[in-house]
Structure formats: structure tokens, C-alpha cells
Structure 1
């Protein structure tokens, strides 16, 4: 089987990728211990008037930055993807009997079926977990039901052979 589809790496596509992968990310909550530690040390420095309070204020700012980085992580990630060299470019996805290939203006990625350790169905696509721990998302909007079934069969058969 050989399937090819060309699509654009748009903001909507990146948003779907992020939203579908979010439940499978390691860090689901802010690092409260880090933020609390920064605030406590900042208060201690300010209360003892060490270094005229500048370091204490810096620690408060770092705690606030840590909270903001968690709160706006989706927006920040989307902005980085859209502004990247590949943002807005066309990508050709090829699914074959040997694996999955993506070819863009600046990237060429080839994923062999042996590299895939798990296939997770998400509401809007497939999340491929690689043996290295990396995750690749494929939207079902760019795949046909036959291709989705082919991917699952190939990954399952390769897992049994390993």
C-alpha cells in the first residue's frame, strides 16, 4: 500500500497536534514545589534584608515566570511552531509498507515501522510512540480509514515480531 497526501502546517493543524498530545505529556500540573521554594527563599531574603532585596525580588519574578510558562504553554508552543521555518509550508506525507515519510521544504523525516512501540487512538487522529520515547501525531483529517487501519496493522505486526 502506498498513500500520499499533501497538507499545510497551519496554526489549526499545530493546535490540533498540541491538543491531542496534551493528555499524554508528562507534566500535567505546574511545578508547585519549585514556585513555593522560590517564594519562600525570596521572602527569607527580603525579611533578612540580604543584598538589599534585589535577589528576593528576582526569585519572586522567577516564580511568576514559572507560573506564566505553565499557564501559557499552549500559546507559546503554537507561536514557536508557526514562526518556525516549517510553519505555513506544505508537507507531503507518504505511508507505505516500509514506514511513514514526511517531506517538507526544510525537513525530510523517515519513520520505519520497527521504530514504533505504540499506537494510541485520539479523538482526532493517531499518536505514534517511538522506541526512543518521542511522540508523532497524525491527524485523521489527512488520513483515510484504510490508511489508519494499515498503520495499526503494520505497527501491531512489527511489535509482535520484536
Structure 2
């Protein structure tokens, strides 16, 4: 028995919203300062200590590349999602007492409530935080009753 049934389309706007709203709950929200500093120091040691300019420049360029990758992580992630075959497809979301089931023509997955560690309400949606991965659901796709039902599951986890 399904409690709530919702549908939405995976388009560029949805992917952007998904990235922006779930970023604070992701492990890529902060730059890898230690890695960048380590690569830069190793590059300097290679250039000045080992007199190996090629290795030093390579390591310093890796540090720069890491900075660029962090700066452009949003457009890169959105572009990767847009080239998947699921892009543009309609998602059917079923929310019941067992969990959340999402289905599109290419894939189906279920998130049992028992696997959800945290339910975080954001300005535009809800993030289901699990070990290893997060799932974002936009409020545009949810009815008020479905949103309240999901948030009520948050209280049952506390």
C-alpha cells in the first residue's frame, strides 16, 4: 500500500537544485586543503631539493588541478548527470511506511527508513542522509502531506 505517489523529471534545473541543496551534507563541501598543500610542498621539494623540475612541476600542477576541480565541482557534476541515460526521464516516487522507492525507465531503487541516518529539511527540499550516499527530494515534487510524512519519520529517528 502506497501512502504517497509523486512524479518529477530529471532535468538540468533539478540537478542544479539537487547539488546545491545536498552539498552541505556531502563530503565534498570543503576543499582538500591538506592535499593541495602536500602536493605543493612535494613539488617544491622535487624542484629545489631533488633538482627534478619535471616532477616538481607535475606535482604543483596536480595541486592547481585539485583547486580547479573543487571550484568547478557543481558544473562538472551537473554535466555528468546530464549525459546519463536517466537525464530527462520521469521519476516515480512512492513513499510508504517501509521507505522511499524511486523508479524511472532505467533504474529502480528503494531506501528503507531503517537505512536513513538523518532527514534534513532544506530551503527547497529534503535530504535523506545515509551511510555513503545522500538522496535529495525537491519540495516541488512533494505534496504538503508527503513532506510532512517524511519529516515525521525524522522525529521517529530522534
TM-score band (shorter)? Answer: 0.7 to 0.9
Distance across 1 between alignment mates of 2:112 and 2:135? 12
Distance across 1 between alignment mates of 2:152 and 2:57? 56
TM-score in terms of structure 2 length? 0.88
Partner in structure 2 of residue 34 of structure 1: 35
Unaligned segments of structure 2, at least 5 residues: none
Pairwise CA distance, 1:91: 1.2
Please tell me whether Structure 1 or Structure 2 has the larger radius of gyration of its CA atoms. Answer: 1
Distance across 1 between alignment mates of 2:155 and 2:132? 17
Distance across 2 between alignment mates of 1:108 and 1:37? 41
1:108 aligns to 2:94 (yes or no)? no
**Greater per-residue helix proportion:** 1
TM-score in terms of structure 1 length? 0.86
Unaligned segments of structure 1, at least 5 residues: none
Query: What CA RMSD, in Å, does the superposition of the two structures yield over aligned residues?
Result: 1.9
CA contact (8 A) 1:117 1:155 kept: no
Runs of 4+ with deviation above 4 angstroms: none
Aligned length: 157
Per mean C-alpha deviation after superposition, the further-off stretch among 16-25 and 42-51 is: 42-51
Partner in structure 1 of residue 12 of structure 2: 11
